[in-house]
């Protein structure tokens, strides 16, 4: 690790580019967030509030996924691993944990902690983009400045929405989510920031494993309950086996072909969202099925 370096874009053909320990640490915090989202979905469905639970899960999972995407694609282009970069990343990790802590209240319609968590993350990420702009020139500098400006504008809109009555979230969430997705398109209209195909492929694979790991945990709980309550052994073991089968199949399908061979543009960051959200919901389904088997 260097004390201070010039933040310049890394090469897309850099050899041996892999996920760093700091990135793995960053991902670890998302384990908490994904687990919180799944647990809340289970509770809402079990309480007969499936509609509200599914809507809350979609809101929250989008927030989790987009926070991870913002960091990951920036890091693929500009990770220089010096002291300011590490400190900014640790600030972002703090924001992720605040977001995770606010997930239960977000399911009930209170997005205060979720917005605060994003605000913390955005302060650090905006600093990173401004730092990149300071050390870049030409189109690369303009792209970095556009990213910084886009983050500030959209985050300001979220804060304003938070100050409005709760009913405005129903109408305001989708337009602001679209605005979030539009920031990369706006920033990279004239210049595509560099990213490393192997690095991005590995990062998405690791995040997929995190989400699938929640289903492994759910299956483990089902087996544990089956051992403790032999009366429902015949019902819980098939649930656990089915959950594991789904995880194994999803893993096999996702890693059947090297993802880096299919990445042609950084516009592909959006492709895995639906699959990741569905994978997270599978864990909730296994938890819910095992709970139901024990109460029948």
224 CB-near residues (< 8 Å, 6+ apart): none
Tokens matching residue 92: 């972002």
Cα distance between residue 290 and residue 227, in whole Å: 13
Whether 222 contacts 234, CB under 8 Å: no
In angstroms and rounded to an integer, the radius of gyration of the C-alpha atoms of the chain is 20
| Sign, CA torsion 168/170/173/174 | negative
pTM of structure: 0.85
Task: Specify the pLDDT at position 266.
Answer: 52
Give long-range contacts, CB 8 A cutoff, 24+ apart: 242-247.
Answer: 242/286, 243/215, 243/216, 243/218, 243/219, 243/282, 243/283, 243/285, 243/286, 244/215, 244/216, 244/219, 246/215, 246/282, 247/212, 247/215, 247/216, 247/219, 247/282
Question: Alpha helix locations (H) across the chain?
Answer: 21-46, 50-78, 83-101, 103-107, 112-135, 138-163, 168-187, 197-228, 233-254, 273-295
pLDDT in tens, the chain (296 residues): 666 677 888 888 888 888 899 999 999 888 888 888 888 888 888 788 888 888 888 889 899 999 999 999 999 999 988 899 999 999 999 999 999 999 999 998 899 999 999 999 999 999 999 999 999 889 999 999 999 999 999 999 999 999 988 878 888 999 999 999 999 989 988 788 888 888 888 888 888 888 888 777 766 766 666 566 655 566 777 777 777 788 788 788 777 766 655 555 555 455 566 667 777 777 777 777 776 766 65
**How far is residue 156's CA from residue 25's CA, in Å, rounded to a whole number?**
28
* Digit-coded pLDDT (tens) for 198-249: 888 888 888 888 888 877 776 676 666 656 665 556 677 777 777 778 878 8
């Amino acid at each position: 690790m260097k004390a201070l370096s010039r933040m310049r874009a890394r090469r897309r053909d850099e050899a041996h580019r892999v996920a760093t320990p700091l990135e793995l640490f960053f991902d670890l915090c998302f384990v908490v967030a994904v687990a919180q989202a799944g647990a809340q979905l289970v509770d809402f469905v079990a309480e007969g509030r499936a509609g509200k639970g599914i809507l809350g899960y979609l809101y929250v999972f989008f927030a989790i996924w987009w926070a991870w995407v913002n960091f990951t694609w920036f890091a693929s282009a500009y990770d220089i691993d010096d002291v300011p970069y590490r400190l900014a990343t640790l600030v972002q990790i703090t924001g992720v944990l605040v977001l995770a802590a606010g997930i239960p209240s977000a399911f009930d319609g209170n997005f205060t902690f979720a917005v605060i968590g994003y605000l913390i993350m955005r302060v650090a990420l905006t600093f990173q983009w401004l730092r990149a702009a300071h050390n870049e020139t030409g189109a690369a500098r303009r792209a970095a400045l556009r990213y910084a400006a886009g983050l500030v504008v959209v985050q300001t809109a979220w804060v304003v929405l938070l100050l409005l009555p709760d009913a405005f979230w129903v109408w305001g969430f989708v337009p602001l989510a679209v605005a979030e997705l539009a920031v990369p398109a706006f920033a990279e209209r004239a210049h595509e920031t560099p990213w490393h195909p192997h690095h991005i492929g590995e990062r998405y694979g690791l995040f997929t494993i995190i989400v699938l790991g929640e289903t492994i945990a759910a299956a483990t709980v089902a087996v544990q309950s089956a051992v403790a309550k032999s009366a429902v052994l015949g019902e819980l073991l098939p649930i656990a086996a089915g959950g594991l089968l789904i995880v194994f199949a999803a893993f096999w399908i996702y890693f059947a072909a090297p993802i880096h061979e299919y990445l042609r543009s950084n516009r592909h960051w959006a492709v895995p969202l639906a699959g990741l959200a569905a994978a997270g919901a599978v864990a909730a389904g296994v938890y819910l099925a095992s709970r139901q088997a024990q109460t029948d």
